[in-house]
Amino acid sequence: MICVEASHNSEAVKALLRSYLTLACNLVPTGYANEVGEAFRALVPVSAVWATHAVATAYVSADALDKGKKAPPAPL
């Protein structure tokens, strides 16, 4: 979460938020990389298919870690 005081430049905050959202939107398709690999399984080497699974796994793992760090603590 970005916390800013009223004295900070809101345009800079908006620019930072825009760049973050652009990056996030550009990375989301990597979560589906394995689907592309499976679609071309008959045409590409098996190692290429496994590579797409590795890319998707890396994205999903990083996303889960990020969401877990941002989540509020569980009530006891």
Distances from the Cα of 6 to the Cα of 3, 13, 53, 63, angstroms: 10, 11, 45, 31
Distances from the Cα of 60 to the Cα of 7, 12, 33, 51, angstroms: 37, 30, 11, 14
Arithmetic mean of pLDDT, 12-35: 76
Percent of the chain with pLDDT strictly greater than 70: 83
- pLDDT single digits (tens) 47-57: 999 999 998 88
> For the chain, what are the domain ranges?
29-70
- Confirm whether pTM is higher than 0.75: no
| Residue 43 pLDDT level (bands cut at 50, 70, 90) | very high
Supply the DSSP string of 29-46, one letter for each residue.
Answer: GGGGHHHHHHHTTTTS-H
